[in-house]
Amino acid sequence: MEQTDYSELKLGKSITAASSPDVAILDVIQNPKKTINYLVRFTCPEFTSLCPVTGQPDFAHIVVDYIPNEQIVESKSLKLYLESYRNYSTFHEDCTISIGEKLITAIDPIWLRIGGYWYPRGGIPIDVFFQTGEPPTGVWVPDQGVKSYKGRG
């Protein structure tokens, strides 16, 4: 395997999140297993953004699944990107889809799906789902494991 220069990555450095997702940069690295189709999952159970109307915080459990192509996203840069939404105003739908679009632009995955499981505010939970098509056959794609919101039960 060829030697890669990781010195430009955020990994291992003290870095704060970008001021908004619009200016956040995802670090990408070469896929170490290009000849194998496999699934990568990122789970962010404490995602936060702001309501663009009220300014109140919105909370979500975000799950991103993707099958890498030539590159993979470096996890610290993804964490910082997701954190950049903390003081950013956007609707649930735009937020969830924009995360997927940013990943597609950065790494051009073979397949991607994102589930945005938003906690209720005003009594209605909103779940937003996006995927780029059908995953290739032979790749194990487990359920995202987030139960639908049921309230008190």
> Active-site residue numbers?
51, 58
Cα–Cα nearest to 65, from 100, 95, 101: 100
Residue 89, burial from CB neighbour count under 10 angstroms (0-12, 13-18, 19+): middle
> What is the sign of the dihedral through the CA atoms of 107, 78, 130 and 63?
positive
